[in-house]
Amino acid sequence: MALPLLYDCDPGNDTALAVLAAVGHPGIDLLAVTTLAGHLPAERTAHNAAVALYAAGAHGVPVARGSELPLVRDQVLAGVLDLDGGLDRLRDDLPALGHDPRHSVELIIDTARENPGLTVVTTGPLTNLASALRRDPATGRNIARIVSLGGAWGLGGKTAAAEFNIWCDPEAAAVVLGGEVPVTLLPVEATGAVPVDDALTERIAAGPAARVPLASELLESMRRVHRPGPFGPVPVPLHDPCAVLYAADPSLGETRTVRVDVELDGRHTYGRTVIDLGGRSALQARTGVVVRLDTPRTHAALADALARLPAPATA
């Protein structure tokens, strides 16, 4: 039986690729996509999600526009150019794509109520999900688990202490991690080790997924981007698709159950995820943390999911 899944995200290139993977994966029943401001403004992320679903042939999956602002702090955006450059062609060709009239928070609540046992995957700030859990306590009882891309046990990300998704809305992350729904985090150290490299892009371009042009375009756009590393530029990671693929098949990762807290008061550490891999905390260890992903199997799972997408109606 396919996994009933709601995907909450802030789509740029790698998120759009994750949407394609969620549609194509035989183990996932994608019920809804909810969006919010994060890497990009909310209006743009909602449209990017609609573009990705259109390209995947998933015209019946609702897309909602969500939170513009964090729960407490001022709005922050990634401030990085070309986060969705791979979507340019389709986005420009399809300006009239609409979205569900409901706010993302309402769509989360409704989807959970209609589908008890729902899995929620998040790859952006946790504002939508935290708001849904606070607004309707029954939502938490209807969600079986949360798989969330976010946090870091050492590297930080946006700051020296904090990874971007958590840093955008630390208070929302604290709500989600402190709730009753089981959460598995995929920190930046785990997903950051799964690259968009030449082998992956060539595999997709040479396989059945090549008939879905957006998949190759997104990967090629990502492949051209390199991030600074301690010994020179390194390939951009496959962050968001990792979360979707792991949700469908947790055997892709090595996961430990540990204590995770979010720093809300630190002057220099605001938004840090305190991940107790050493087992030093006396508090309950209740959060799954993926410490390692199998890169070859993750690449293979992505290629297989993309290969199952239908060819576009028109070339």
Domains belonging to the chain, first-starting first, are: 3-307 (3.90.245.10)
* More confidently predicted of 213 and 290: 290
Least confident of 107-121, 149-163, 221-235, 254-268: 221-235
What are the backbone dihedrals phi and psi of residue 20, each rounded to the nearest 5 degrees, phi first? -60, -45
Asked if pLDDT for residue 87 goes beyond 80, the answer is no
Confidence at residue 96, expressed as pLDDT on a 0 to 100 scale: 54
Confidence at residue 209, expressed as pLDDT on a 0 to 100 scale: 85
Asked if pLDDT for residue 83 goes beyond 70, the answer is no
Confidence at residue 210, expressed as pLDDT on a 0 to 100 scale: 83
Amino acid making up residue 163: E
Q: How confident is the model at residue 313 (pLDDT cuts 50, 70, 90)?
A: low
Asked if pLDDT for residue 303 goes beyond 80, the answer is yes
CA 238/CA 304 separation, integer angstroms: 15
Confidence at residue 227, expressed as pLDDT on a 0 to 100 scale: 65
Asked if pLDDT for residue 155 goes beyond 70, the answer is yes
Asked if pLDDT for residue 279 goes beyond 70, the answer is yes
Which span out of 184-188, 229-233, 308-312 was modeled with the highest average pLDDT?
184-188
CA 205/CA 28 separation, integer angstroms: 23
Q: Is the pTM of this model over 0.85?
A: yes
Residue 239 a catalytic site member: yes
Asked if pLDDT for residue 142 goes beyond 90, the answer is yes
- CA distance readout (Å), 38 to 51, 80, 112, 168: 18, 11, 23, 7
Please state, rounded to an integer, the average pLDDT across all residues of the chain: 91
Q: What are the pLDDT digits (tens) for 24-44?
A: 999 999 999 999 999 889 998
Q: How confident is the model at residue 58 (pLDDT cuts 50, 70, 90)?
A: very high
Confidence at residue 76, expressed as pLDDT on a 0 to 100 scale: 77
Asked if pLDDT for residue 84 goes beyond 80, the answer is no
- CA distance readout (Å), 286 to 103, 169, 251, 282: 30, 21, 19, 12
The continuous run of DSSP H or E covering 261 comes out as strand 260-262
Asked if residues 171 and 74 have their Cβ atoms less than 8 Å apart, the reply is: no
- CA distance readout (Å), 102 to 64, 190, 204, 281: 6, 34, 35, 41
Confidence at residue 131, expressed as pLDDT on a 0 to 100 scale: 99
Confidence at residue 315, expressed as pLDDT on a 0 to 100 scale: 42
What are the backbone dihedrals phi and psi of residue 147, each rounded to the nearest 5 degrees, phi first? -115, 115
For residues 210-228, average pLDDT:
82
Asked if residues 64 and 100 have their Cβ atoms less than 8 Å apart, the reply is: yes
DSSP per-residue string spanning 71-130:
SSSPP-----TTTTGGGHHHHHH-TT---EEEEHHHHHHHHHHHSTTEEEEE-S-SHHHH
Which span out of 26-35, 46-55, 150-159 was modeled with the highest average pLDDT?
26-35
Number of other CB atoms surrounding residue 212 within 10 Å: 24
Q: Which of 47, 99, 103, 239 is catalytic?
A: 239
Confidence at residue 85, expressed as pLDDT on a 0 to 100 scale: 59
Matching residue, tokens 């993309």: 306
